[in-house]
Amino acid sequence: MQTRNTKQRGLVLDAVRARCDHPSADDIYIDVRRLDPKISRGTVYRNLSVLADAGEIMHVRVPAADRYDLRTEKHYHMFCLRCGRVADAPIPYRDELDEGAAAATGFTVGRHRTIFEGVCPECREKEGR
Ligand code: ZN
Ligand code: MN
């Protein structure tokens, strides 16, 4: 039988996988609450952290916020400084940067994380630029 803990973790995982907009922990809390009104914010946050550590989802840190991603393979992100939108950057991951940094330092390098900061097309449109 599923324990309540396992069930809650499953709800949190499903909620992240249901969204492709890089939701914040609060967004996920609001989604999960619809299915389990008794779940606490702390439980949702803790489960997000456990799932990210286990590699089931990815944690993306953007300026002033923590976001979560259903895609766990290495990829880059775009961040809109106006509206806070986070989107995948459709350019290839550059393994050679990891190799170069490793060769230059003697570190083993697992990955690098890159966030491109700027203004998204919707915000540019609103600003008439
Ligand atoms: Zn924007
Ligand atoms: Mn992503």
CA of 104 relative to ligand 1 center, distance in Å: 37
How confident is the model at residue 3, as a pLDDT? 87
Residues 59 and 111 grouped into a single domain = no
Per the document, the length of the chain is: 129
Residues 21 and 51 grouped into a single domain = yes
Closest ligand to the CA of 122: 1
Residues 86 and 46 grouped into a single domain = no
How many C-beta atoms surround the C-beta of residue 123 within 10 A? 16
Closest ligand to the CA of 121: 1
Residues 63 and 79 grouped into a single domain = no
Helix ranges (DSSP H) in the chain: 4-17, 25-35, 41-53, 95-105, 121-126
Alpha-carbon distance of 29 to 48, in angstroms, equals 10
CA of 76 relative to ligand 2 center, distance in Å: 7
- Look over the chain and give the mean of its residue pLDDT values, rounded to a whole number: 95
**Domain-ending residue, one of 23, 46, 71:** 71
Tally the domains of the chain. Answer: 2
pTM: 0.86
CA of 68 relative to ligand 1 center, distance in Å: 18
CA of 42 relative to ligand 2 center, distance in Å: 24
Angle, vertex CA 87, rays to CA 80 and CA 119, nearest 5: 20
Alpha-carbon distance of 63 to 46, in angstroms, equals 21
Residues 55 and 99 grouped into a single domain = no
Structural domain range at position 39: 1-71
How confident is the model at residue 52, as a pLDDT? 96
Tell me the average pLDDT across 51-62: 95
Q: CATH number for the domain including 15?
A: 1.10.10.10
Q: CATH number for the domain including 124?
A: 3.30.1490.190
Alpha-carbon distance of 53 to 14, in angstroms, equals 16
Q: Provide φ and ψ at 5, rounded to 5°.
A: -60, -45
pLDDT band at 1 (very low <50, low <70, confident <90, very high): low
How confident is the model at residue 87, as a pLDDT? 96
How confident is the model at residue 129, as a pLDDT? 63
Residues 42 and 87 grouped into a single domain = no
User: Is the pLDDT confidence value at 86 over 90?
Assistant: yes
Least confident of 76-80, 102-106, 117-121, 124-128: 124-128
Q: Which one has a higher pLDDT value, 56 or 3? A: 56
How confident is the model at residue 2, as a pLDDT? 74
pLDDT band at 51 (very low <50, low <70, confident <90, very high): very high
